[in-house]
Amino acid sequence: MTGFSLKLKSKNGQHVVNDLDAATTIANLKAKVSEVTQIPQSVLHILIGFPPKPLDLSKDLESISSSGVSNGDILIVEERQKEESSPPPAANTYEEDAKLAQHLSAEEENDMGILLKKVVPADNSCLFTSIGYVLNGQVDLDCASYMRLIIAEQVANDPINYSEAILGRPNPEYCEWIKRPESWGGAIEVSILSNFYGLEIDVVDITNAIINRFGEDKNFGLRVFLLFDGIHYDPLYMEPASGGPPRTIFPIEDENVYRQAEQLALEAKASRQFTDVNKFTLRCIQCDSLLVGQVEAQNHAVKTGHTNFGEI
C-alpha cells in the first residue's frame, strides 16, 4: 500500500511523518502525532486543509483517507486547554514545563530572525487573506468566502452574545452583510476566527502602538500576528536567520517574536505608517459619493442605507 507523508507544525517545531498509509486509523494517527509533537492525545487539536479546518479526532476506527487526509498534507497541531479538572502531580507538571521551556529557549536562540510584513491585496478582504496566510503560508484570495461563512454561522447560532447592540445591526442582517465580498472585517471577526481555529491572533495596531490579543483568555498554545494600520491588515512572518522557511505560527512562550512585534508597532507609529481614520477618503460604491473620514462614512450609511465603501 502506498505510504503517506505528512508535515506537522506545532509549538515544538516542524516534523515530517512518513510511516503512514491510507488505511491508518485516526487512533494510530493521534498516537503518532502525540509521540512526535509531545502533545498528549487527550488535548490534541489538529487543523487540516486550506482554509484550515478542524480534523474530527473522535472516530478512532476511521481511516485517515476517509477523514480527508491526503499524502503530502500539512497538519497544524496544537494543544487544547483542558476544562477545569484535577491537576496532574505537581512534580511531573513542573518537570515537563521546564523541559518545554528549555527546548523553546534553545530553538529561539538557534533560529532568531526578523519579523517582516507580507503585503496582501487591499480588496476589502485583507483581514481574511492575512489570516489565511499565517495559517497556511500562502496568499489565497479564495479563503475569504469560506471564513465569512464561518463567521456568519457562528453569529447566527449565538444571537444572545451577538446581539444588535454588539453587531451594530440586527443579527440576521449582519449575517447576510458579512458574507458579501465588499464587507470589511474587524475585531468581532478576528475574535470568532481565533476561537474557531484555536489560535491566539495578535493584531499589531500601529496607530496606537499596541498589540490586541484575541483569544488571550482561552490559553491557546500557539499565536499568529497581523499588522493593522487603521484600515488595512497584513500578515507578519518570521524570516529565520538560519535561512530556513518563513514561520507564521509561534508558541505563546516565544517572547522574542512578541518583543519584535511590539518594537515594530512603536517604529511604525513613530514614522506614521498608519492611516488616520478621520482623514482618509472613501468612495461609496453604490452612489459614487466621496466621503472623508470614518464619521462621514458612518453618517452617509445611516442617511442612505448604503454600506459598500472602497478606499481611494
Active site residues: 123, 126, 232, 306
Give the count of beta carbons closer than 10 Å to the beta carbon of residue 299: 12
Number of separate helices (H) and strands (E) present in the chain: 9, 14
By the 8 A CB rule, do 144 and 181 touch?
A: yes
Q: Which amino acid is at 64?
A: I
DSSP 63: B
By the 8 A CB rule, do 190 and 201 touch?
A: yes
245-261 as b/e, with b when 16 or more CB fall inside 10 Å?
A: eebbbbbbbbebbbebb
Q: How far apart are the first and last CA of the chain?
A: 57
The phi, psi pair for 277, rounded to 5°, reads -70, -10
